[in-house]
Amino acid sequence: MSNSHTSVRIAGTGSYLPERIMTNADLEASVDTSDEWIRTRTGIRERRIAAEGEFTSHLATKAGLQALEQSGIAPAEVEMIIVATITPDTLTPATACYVQQQIGALNAVAFDVSAACSGFLYAMELARHSVGAGAFKNALIIGAEKLSAFVDWSDRNTCVLFGDGAGAAVLVPSTNGDGKILSSHLGTDGAQAELLNIPGGGSACPVTLENAPEKLATLAMQGREVFKHAVNAMKRASLEAIESAGLTSKDIKLLIPHQANLRIIDATVERLDISRDDVFINLDKYGNTSAAAVAIALDEANRQGRIAKGDKILLVAFGAGLTWASAVIEW
Ligand code: UT7
């Protein structure tokens, strides 16, 4: 994609994690797994699970309101809301519509993006160009997931990996002296769509009384294959964004990668020549929250003071589709 007309910056970030913590020990009680297996194969120690009656839109709204508060923009001033999610409240309307209603952003255009774990960065790129072109004055982008509603809790291959949560950012035009999004790179390989999907519940395979026991509306993944693609794609996407920003790996102060598996992160970092100390990791606390993961990590890094003005940070994600995405931001 070409560069936007005006530069765009992040004016505020937010995140929300449901209160309920599910530990690896809790999972040991329900499936044939162990804390040791989960920790050593993934790095995950616990994850958050949304309450009954707490939907993706509710998580998204809480994260979104925090980001608006930090950016000093009132809900009525918001012009665009993009929610990245694969676990929408309903197939239609978009989860962004419920968020609009809940935050009272009645003047906004609201829609969802479905690009799995890369969704937040896809939303960021769409918003960057929309705001940069002057078509919208600002955009609230949110990655939000209630993956606990789409996991087969009897399948140890998947149920130990995922969690619920939401993260958000507000994008506005950048003026002189402000930071800005320097570059971005997005990619898709639809030929690998079957490696990671939710096979049922869509028009291809509606859930019926007959097929209900097969639990087709839950996540199915060929983990080992996805793992290999993830490492390669995260590395390539990172290098593309770094290079188009006119930088090298040495310029990156903080890497915020998708939080799926610590071994994927380590393998990516090794190939990038970025110090492990400069990598933000929170998957031990939240597991894989798909589109929310990079957004939550960005907000935590921001609020923990891990990013200073002028720092160049790299965000990179990979997920179902297959999709991948990266962005280099000057803070
Ligand atoms: O977010 C989007 C992208 N998603 C990812 O990036 C995930 C990518 N994949 C992965 O992170 C890893 O492939 C997994 C964590 C999913 C699996 O790790 P792995 O090292 O690739 O394990 P595996 O699938 O090769 O399974 C190894 C063994 C198997 O047993 P056998 O066949 O060797 O006897 C599994 O049945 O581990 C077994 N296993 C488990 N054992 C205890 C699988 N899940 C579990 C479990 N507890 N929860």
Model confidence pLDDT, tens digit, residues 75-106: 999 999 999 999 999 999 999 999 999 999 99
Name the packing angle between helices 223-244 and 262-272 (round to 10°).
Answer: 40
Within a 10 A sphere around the Cβ of 281, how many other Cβ atoms? 16
Q: Which percentage of the chain shows pLDDT scores above 70?
A: 99
CA 276 to chain centre: 21
For residue 130, the one-letter residue type is S
Which pLDDT belongs to residue 5? 84
What spacing in Å lies between the alpha carbon of 56 and ligand 1's midpoint? 27
Residue 205 designated active-site = no
Residue with tokens 């997931």: 145
- Pair of tokens at residue 109: 């255009």
Homologous superfamily of domain range 181-330: Thiolase/Chalcone synthase (3.40.47.10)
Which pLDDT belongs to residue 175? 87
| Cα(228)–Cα(189) distance, integer angstroms | 14
Residue 288 designated active-site = yes
Lowest-pLDDT range of 1-5, 55-59, 226-230, 237-241: 1-5
Residues 5-33 as b or e (16 or more Cβ within 10 Å = b): eebbbbbbbbbbbbeeebebeebbeeeeb
Which pLDDT belongs to residue 137? 98
Sketch the domain layout of the chain as residue ranges.
8-177, 181-330
Over residues 246-259, mean pLDDT: 97
* 8-177: in CATH 3.90.1530.10: no
Q: How many CA atoms lie within 13 A of 181 on its CB side?
A: 30
By alpha-carbon position, which residue is closest to atom 22 of ligand 1? 224
Q: What is the pTM of this model?
A: 0.97
Q: Which residues line ligand 1 (CB under 6 A)?
A: 33, 37-38, 41-42, 117, 156-157, 160, 223-224, 226-227, 230, 260-261, 264, 288, 318-319
By alpha-carbon position, which residue is closest to atom 20 of ligand 1? 41
What spacing in Å lies between the alpha carbon of 154 and ligand 1's midpoint? 15
> Confidence band (pLDDT; 50, 70, 90) for 1?
very low
Q: For the chain, what is the radius of gyration of the CA atoms?
A: 19
Taking 70 as the threshold, does the pLDDT of residue 264 lie above it? yes
Model confidence pLDDT, tens digit, residues 266-325: 999 998 989 999 999 999 999 999 999 999 999 999 999 999 999 999 999 999 999 999
What spacing in Å lies between the alpha carbon of 36 and ligand 1's midpoint? 13
Which pLDDT belongs to residue 177? 78
Model confidence pLDDT, tens digit, residues 129-149: 999 999 999 999 999 999 999
Model confidence pLDDT, tens digit, residues 208-217: 999 999 999 9
Q: What are phi and psi of 37, to 5 degrees?
A: -60, -50
Counting runs of H as helices and runs of E as strands, what totals does the chain give? 10, 13
User: Cα dist. 127→79, 93, 159, 205 in Å?
Assistant: 11, 20, 33, 32
109-113 vs 220-221, strand pairing mode: unpaired
| Cα(25)–Cα(71) distance, integer angstroms | 39
Over residues 234-252, mean pLDDT: 96
